[in-house]
């Protein structure tokens, strides 16, 4: 969640996963017949619906033979282009149609990408347009189509008001070379309510109740299977799978989604029930696969005797903790090969059962497959002490008792560096029933409850709470732990993390927060638990960022950390920070570590926040709001030999935002 991410929201959202099922395809077929196309530009002004306006200085757009010949001179101008606007009135009513399209021919000598944008009048913060692009080689012709409500590769986007289109913008990227192209048949077309065709690879299905095979399973897209080795398989009358393996041969069966992937984010394990229907003992094993990697393979402890059954469980939690590479290069680095996991639970695409060779032919029934979430049982010492021995002292404990957050420790206001959508409000930083609740909801208001705020989120339609101890409490080294319940509403980005606070001159005009909290000069961002709600409540990111957020920025971490919740739905995550080493813990067990001389050594402060978005999230769904990020407690310990005079609380006025 580092400070640079707000600069890449559009590209991040353009990469979001499409959530669509075959029902969407059937809806397309049921649309009303399309109206006759409405041409938005014609060279004859007597019946042309549009006119050329707002051509950039480097662009010449010439009407000719019913189309527009365009020449873009080489320049440093960003996104040069022109617009076609209504000839009469301020807007077009394109409600009877579902898209705007044009035929584009590259008439120049350079490869180019041409973009078509359909606009509504509106606040730029809402991005009131839909955009698509087409890349063309010299002499190549292609179709450029914008479907209302979709953009950037037909991902769900701004819900364009098709009855109030005020212009169509056509543009290219910046280049020092001259380019030329021709636009023809610029028209409103298709039927109202058009949707992009379903990409089978982009379909995501969340099995109801986690049931994938067996009694009660109700998949929209019927599962399919493939076999390898000496195996054969077929469906039984009860819709289970019967697997036969030739004598002396190994075999495997992989059950796959009928289309796309399964989203198993609401679970953290897969259970498979197997029955031995043959006359020889069999030794099976199991793993769950995703496009990026698989879970560890788990084998039966002993062979299954004929006529008996067992249930194998493949956990998404790796047995080998993640270990960061020791010498990361600029950019983002991961873990040492063989540590942690690359499995993505929200993109599962296979469940594989493997069977070892037996002396005689074997037969097995795969009677049931379900994704489940068995509650974690935590060691009794969790929350009471650090996970390692030492002379430890509890230095910060907030159990969030009472009716309000303690403003002598916590700020509830700050700048929003992370999205363009969320304002922070006191009313959304709740303390109730011994918990801190950061509530995300659709509610108009001013950022930091300040009508005079001038930031990019000065007034928005979505509110949340915030808490950090910048200028009020810091510590260098120690053990930092929080017990948290993560939201499941789509599109949210809660986190428990830390940033440096170097102190110094209290005048923010001389020593601003971005400087005091910078990650250069031995400072570091520690992402202890950074979650994208589209992953499901048991997966999160843990990472380290340093050397700023520009071209020298470095990071090491993993987005595939898994921790099961306890019986109340909470996960307990901690970080042990010592010189040259940081170790992450989940429910009292080590889940990751990084050892390096570059580990931060600057006083730092904890942050608890939630905004929307993130780099690989699902789109925000307002119908699922309000949603809560719940923190039961935060506790920090310091080891006596690591303590420094700067550790601990700082004098402050108890204002909701530190003035330091």
Asked whether residue 594 is domain-assigned, the answer is yes
Q: State residue 49's pLDDT score.
A: 83
Model confidence band, residue 511 (pLDDT cutoffs 50, 70, 90): confident
User: What is the CATH number for 425?
Assistant: 2.60.120.200
Q: What pairs with residue 627 in β-bridges?
A: 440
Quote the mean pLDDT of the chain. 91
Q: Is the pLDDT of residue 57 over 80?
A: yes
* Cβ partners under 8 Å of residue 294, min gap 6: 287, 288, 342, 343, 352
H/E segment holding residue 29: helix 22-29
Q: Quote the percentage of the chain above a pLDDT of 70.
A: 93
Mean pLDDT of 263-285: 97
At 535, is the secondary structure helix, strand, or coil?
Answer: helix
Q: Is the pLDDT of residue 597 over 90?
A: yes
Claim to verify: residue 101 and residue 226 sit in the same structural domain: no
Claim to verify: residue 122 and residue 228 sit in the same structural domain: no
Q: Is the pLDDT of residue 42 over 80?
A: no
129-136 and 112-120 strand pairing: antiparallel
Asked whether residue 235 is domain-assigned, the answer is yes
Q: State residue 512's pLDDT score.
A: 83
Apex 17 CA angle, 16 and 21, nearest 5: 145
Q: State residue 301's pLDDT score.
A: 94
Of 507, 656, 526, nearest to 582 (Cα)?
526
Quick check: 186 and 84 in contact, CB under 8 A?
yes
State the Cα–Cα distance between residues 41 and 48, nearest whole angstrom. 5
At 637, is the secondary structure helix, strand, or coil?
Answer: strand
Q: Where is average pLDDT lowest: 4-13, 57-66, 178-187, 513-522?
A: 4-13
* Cβ partners under 8 Å of residue 241, min gap 6: 213, 225, 233, 234, 235, 253, 255, 365, 366
* 278-323 pLDDT tens trace: 999 999 999 999 999 999 999 999 999 999 999 999 999 999 999 9
The single residue listed with the structure tokens 């549009």 is 50
Asked whether residue 6 is domain-assigned, the answer is no
Model confidence band, residue 14 (pLDDT cutoffs 50, 70, 90): very low
* 376-410 pLDDT tens trace: 999 999 999 999 999 999 999 999 999 999 999 99
Examine the fold and report which residue of 339, 372, 405 is the final residue of a domain before the chain moves on. Answer: 372
At 40, is the secondary structure helix, strand, or coil?
Answer: coil
- Which pair of structure tokens corresponds to residue 621? 């769904």
Q: State residue 352's pLDDT score.
A: 98
Claim to verify: residue 280 and residue 140 sit in the same structural domain: no
Quick check: 626 and 441 in contact, CB under 8 A?
yes
Asked whether residue 409 is domain-assigned, the answer is yes
User: What is the CATH number for 123?
Assistant: 2.60.120.430
Claim to verify: residue 354 and residue 422 sit in the same structural domain: no
- Integer Rg of the chain from CA: 29
Q: State residue 6's pLDDT score.
A: 32
State the Cα–Cα distance between residues 582 and 531, nearest whole angstrom. 19
Claim to verify: residue 342 and residue 395 sit in the same structural domain: no
Q: How many angstroms separate the Cα of 514 from the Cα of each of 24, 67, 163, 509, 600? A: 46, 51, 44, 11, 17
Mean pLDDT of 334-358: 96
Asked whether residue 196 is domain-assigned, the answer is no
* Cβ partners under 8 Å of residue 300, min gap 6: 283, 284, 285, 310, 312
Q: State residue 11's pLDDT score.
A: 33
pTM of the predicted model as reported, rounded to 2 decimal places: 0.78
Mean pLDDT of 189-193: 93
Claim to verify: residue 425 and residue 570 sit in the same structural domain: yes
Q: Is the pLDDT of residue 605 over 80?
A: yes
At 473, is the secondary structure helix, strand, or coil?
Answer: strand
Mean pLDDT of 498-527: 88
State the Cα–Cα distance between residues 99 and 28, nearest whole angstrom. 13
| Cis peptide upstream of residue 626 (ω within 30 degrees of 0) | yes
* 399-448 pLDDT tens trace: 999 999 999 999 999 999 899 899 999 999 999 999 999 999 999 999 99
* Cβ partners under 8 Å of residue 462, min gap 6: 421, 422, 423, 440, 441, 442, 443, 612, 620
Q: Is the pLDDT of residue 7 over 50?
A: no
Claim to verify: residue 307 and residue 420 sit in the same structural domain: no
Give how many domains the chain has, as a whole number.
Answer: 3
- Which pair of structure tokens corresponds to residue 632? 């039961």
Q: What range defines the domain where residue 567 resides?
A: 390-649
Claim to verify: residue 213 and residue 149 sit in the same structural domain: no
State the Cα–Cα distance between residues 370 and 359, nearest whole angstrom. 31
* 130-176 pLDDT tens trace: 999 999 999 999 999 999 999 888 888 889 999 999 999 999 998 99
Asked whether residue 104 is domain-assigned, the answer is yes
Examine the fold and report which residue of 189, 219, 242 is the final residue of a domain before the chain moves on. Answer: 189
State the Cα–Cα distance between residues 621 and 229, nearest whole angstrom. 45
Q: What is the DSSP letter of 66?
A: T
At 422, is the secondary structure helix, strand, or coil?
Answer: strand
Asked whether residue 658 is domain-assigned, the answer is no
Q: What pairs with residue 580 in β-bridges?
A: none
Q: Is the pLDDT of residue 12 over 50?
A: no
Q: Is the pLDDT of residue 562 over 70?
A: yes
The residue among 527 and 123 whose pLDDT is bigger is 527
Claim to verify: residue 169 and residue 251 sit in the same structural domain: no
Asked whether residue 654 is domain-assigned, the answer is no
State the Cα–Cα distance between residues 319 and 296, nearest whole angstrom. 8
Q: Is the pLDDT of residue 21 over 60?
A: no
Quick check: 119 and 166 in contact, CB under 8 A?
yes
Claim to verify: residue 362 and residue 421 sit in the same structural domain: no
Q: Is the pLDDT of residue 48 over 80?
A: no
Q: Is the pLDDT of residue 25 over 90?
A: no
Claim to verify: residue 172 and residue 207 sit in the same structural domain: no
Quick check: 545 and 527 in contact, CB under 8 A?
yes
Q: How many angstroms separate the Cα of 511 from the Cα of each of 408, 467, 503, 515, 548? A: 21, 21, 9, 6, 17
Q: Is the pLDDT of residue 109 over 90?
A: yes
Q: Is the pLDDT of residue 4 over 70?
A: no
* 311-324 pLDDT tens trace: 999 999 999 999 99
Model confidence band, residue 33 (pLDDT cutoffs 50, 70, 90): low
Q: Is the pLDDT of residue 180 over 90?
A: yes
Quick check: 554 and 334 in contact, CB under 8 A?
no
Q: What pairs with residue 369 in β-bridges?
A: 213, 272
Claim to verify: residue 360 and residue 417 sit in the same structural domain: no
Examine the fold and report which residue of 318, 337, 372 is the final residue of a domain before the chain moves on. Answer: 372
């Amino acid at each position: 969640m580092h400070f640079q991410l707000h600069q890449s929201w559009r590209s991040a959202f353009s990469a979001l996963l499409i959530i669509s099922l075959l029902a969407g395809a059937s809806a397309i077929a049921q649309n009303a017949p399309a109206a006759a196309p409405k041409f938005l530009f014609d060279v004859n002004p007597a019946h042309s619906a549009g006119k050329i306006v707002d051509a950039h200085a480097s662009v010449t757009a010439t009407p000719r033979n019913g189309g527009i010949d365009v020449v873009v001179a080489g320049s440093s101008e960003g996104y040069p282009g022109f617009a076609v606007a209504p000839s009469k009135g301020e807007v077009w009513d394109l409600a009877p149609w579902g898209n705007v399209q044009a035929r584009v021919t590259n008439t120049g000598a350079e490869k180019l990408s041409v973009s078509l944008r359909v606009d509504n009048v509106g606040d730029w913060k809402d991005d009131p347009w839909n955009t698509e692009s087409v890349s063309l080689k010299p002499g190549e012709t292609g179709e450029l189509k914008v479907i209302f409500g979709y953009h950037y590769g037909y991902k769900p986007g701004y819900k364009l008001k098709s009855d109030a289109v005020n212009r169509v913008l056509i543009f290219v990227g910046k280049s020092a070379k001259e380019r030329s192209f021709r636009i023809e048949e610029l028209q409103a077309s298709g039927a109202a309510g058009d949707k992009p065709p379903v990409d089978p690879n982009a379909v995501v299905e969340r099995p109801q109740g986690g049931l994938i095979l067996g009694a009660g399973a109700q998949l929209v897209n019927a599962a399919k299977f493939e076999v390898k080795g000496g195996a054969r398989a077929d469906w039984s009358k009860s819709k289970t799978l019967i697997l036969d393996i030739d004598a002396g041969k190994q075999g495997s069966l992989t059950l796959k989604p009928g289309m796309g992937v399964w989203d198993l984010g609401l679970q953290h394990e897969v259970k498979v029930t197997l029955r031995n229907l043959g006359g020889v003992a069999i030794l099976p094993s199991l793993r769950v696969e995703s496009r990026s990697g698989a879970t560890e393979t788990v084998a039966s402890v002993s062979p299954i005797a004929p006529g008996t059954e067992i249930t194998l469980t493949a956990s998404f939690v790796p047995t080998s903790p993640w270990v960061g590479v020791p010498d990361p290069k600029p950019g983002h680095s991961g873990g040492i090969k063989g540590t942690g996991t690359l499995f993505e639970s929200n993109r599962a695409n296979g469940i594989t059962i493997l069977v070892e060779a037996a002396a005689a032919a074997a037969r097995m029934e795969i009677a049931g497959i379900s994704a489940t979430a068995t509650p974690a049982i935590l060691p009794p010492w969790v929350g009471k002490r650090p996970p390692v021995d030492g002379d430890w002292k509890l230095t910060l404990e907030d159990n969030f008792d009472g009716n309000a957050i303690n403003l002598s420790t916590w700020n509830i206001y700050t700048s929003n560096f992370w999205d363009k959508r969320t304002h922070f409000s006191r009313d959304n930083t709740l303390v109730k029933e011994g918990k801190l609740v950061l509530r995300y909801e659709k509610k108009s208001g001013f950022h930091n409850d300040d009508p005079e705020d001038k930031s990019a989120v000065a007034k928005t339609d979505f509110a949340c709470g915030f808490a950090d101890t910048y200028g009020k409490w810091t510590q260098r080294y120690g053990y930092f732990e929080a017990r948290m319940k993560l939201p499941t509403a789509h599109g949210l980005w809660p986190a428990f993390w830390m940033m440096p606070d170097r102190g110094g001159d209290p005048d923010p005009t001389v020593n601003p927060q971005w400087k005091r909290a910078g990650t250069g000069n031995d400072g570091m961002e520690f992402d202890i638990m950074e979650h994208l709600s589209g992953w499901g409540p048991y997966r999160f990111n843990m990472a380290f960022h340093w050397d700023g957020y520009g071209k020298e920025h470095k990071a090491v971490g993993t987005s595939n950390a898994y921790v099961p919740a306890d019986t109340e739905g909470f996960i307990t995550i901690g970080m042990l920070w010592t010189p040259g080493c940081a170790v992450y813990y989940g429910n009292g067990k080590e889940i990751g570590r990084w050892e390096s001389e570059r580990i931060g050594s600057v006083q730092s402060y904890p942050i608890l926040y939630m905004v929307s978005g993130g780099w690989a999230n699902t789109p925000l769904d307002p119908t699922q709001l309000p949603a809560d990020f719940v923190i039961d407690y935060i506790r920090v310990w310091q080891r006596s030999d690591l303590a420094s005079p700067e550790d601990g609380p700082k004098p402050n006025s108890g204002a909701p935002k530190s003035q330091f």
